[in-house]
Structure formats: structure tokens, C-alpha cells
Amino acid sequence: MPRDEPRTANREPQITDSDSRRLGVLISGRGSNLQALIEAVGDGTLAARIAVVISNKANAGGLDRARAAGIEALCLDHRTFGSRDEYDATVVRELRARGVSVVCLAGFMRLVGPRLLEAFPNAILNVHPSLLPAFPGVDAQRQALEHGVKVSGATVHLVTGELDGGPIVLQSAVPVRDDDSVDLLSARILIEEHRIYPQAVRLILDGGWRLEGRRFLVVG
């Protein structure tokens, strides 16, 4: 997969065990975005393999979703590591051991440190429940509602050292209704997350893109 060089995919990607379309998914919770990726792989709309799912929480529902789909699922509890660097180094080792080329954060509630970022340059994606750069960090839907915006949405972006601050790959807008609650707005945004995350992963894997400063541009 190219990082800086554009490449145009002119044929349907074929999946083999030895190719580079192997994903690692990092989670902390229920794993509905993981499920969207599993289903997109299953129905052939995302030509990739999910090689491993790693959670920092033993009780993450996403671990069960992974196992139910026959995907290897590991718990690496961050509290058992001495530092973020040590934790990230172990995550990198596990991902590399399984030939992962693209890492998908899917409700992974930890900051990604330099060790992980440097191991997968421009190859870590995150999904966030707002139209970034508005409302980064936790409780994005509540932030949007309390701010009074009329439109919020979902963003998939490349992960950098800045929290929720990397180049934007795809976004989808969701209108905020006058009678919205955090739960109602979150549910409508989640539908868009599930729709655009597999699309964004496919874009990254297919390789017809380049970065121009902060801008993620799809080429020819």
C-alpha cells in the first residue's frame, strides 16, 4: 500500500493470505463499528481480511463480535503495562506478527503514542462522531447538542499525534433536530459511521490517494 505515492487501482483487488490488505482493529467497547467492518468484509464490499482485533478492556463487547466472526481477538489490558510506550510497543508487535498493514481504531479509548504512529505511518484510521474539527475528544455528540449546531455528523480521519486532528478521509453530515437528545443524535450519527468507515478503509487500501498538507486527495 502506498503512503505518499498515488496509485490507481484498475482492477478488483484479490485477497490472498500473503497480501497487504490485512487489517488490525483496536477497540475498547461494544464494537458496532468493528461489526460494520466485519460485515463489509463478509459481503465483499471491503476486500480485506481482519487479521486481529485487540481490546484494552477485557469486557469489551467487540471481542465477542470478533470471535463470533472467527477473528482472533486479544485483550491487552493497558493497566498491566508500565507506560504508554511499552503498551504501544506490544500492540505494534502483535499487529506486525499478523502482517497488518492498516490499523482501524473503532471506539479505542486511548491516545495513540509515537511508537504506534511511527510503526504505521499514514496507515491508522479513526472514526469520530462529529464533523471534525468541531467537537474533538469525548462526548462529541453532547458537545454538538450543547453548542447548538444545526448539523453534526461522522468523520473518518488518519490518526496523527494530535487528538482527532489528522487529515480527513471521509465525512457525512447529520442534521440536528430541535427535539434531539444525545442518544437520538448519537444513534443517527452511528448509522453514518457504519456507512463511511468501510468506505474509508477501502479508499486507503486501494491506494489512489495522496496527502497535500492536511488535505486527503483522491487521485485519478
CB of 50 to ligand GRF, least distance (A): 14
Give the phi and the psi of residue 183 in degrees, each rounded to 5: -65, -45
110 binds ligand GRF (CB under 6 A): no
193 binds ligand GRF (CB under 6 A): yes
List 65, 95, 100, 129, residue binding ligand GRF (CB under 6 A): 129
30 binds ligand GRF (CB under 6 A): yes
Torsion of CA 51, 57, 61, 62, to 10 degrees: -20
Amino acid at 220: G
What distance in Å separates the CA atoms of residue 164 and residue 31, rounded to the nearest whole number? 19
List 92, 95, 127, 185, residue binding ligand GRF (CB under 6 A): 127
Number of residue whose CB is nearest ligand GRF: 107
153 binds ligand GRF (CB under 6 A): no
Residue showing cell 504505521? 120
Check 78, 128, 147, 157 and give the catalytic one: 128
192 binds ligand GRF (CB under 6 A): no
Which ranges of the chain would DSSP assign to H, the alpha helix?
32-42, 61-68, 84-97, 114-119, 140-147, 182-206
Active site residue 194: no
* Residue in 127, 165, 109 with CA at minimum distance from that of residue 33: 127
Amino acid at 111: L
Written as nine digits, the cell of 197 is 468507515
Task: Give, as one character, the DSSP assignment of residue 69.
Answer: T
CB of 177 to ligand GRF, least distance (A): 18
Closer by beta carbon to ligand GRF, 153 or else 207: 153
Tell me if residue 18 falls in helix, strand or coil.
coil
Listed ranges 41-49, 91-99, 126-134, 167-175: which one lies at the site for ligand GRF (CB under 6 A): 126-134
29 binds ligand GRF (CB under 6 A): yes
Which residues are known catalytic residues? 128
Rule CB under 6 A: which residues touch ligand GRF? 29-33, 62, 106-107, 127-129, 190, 193
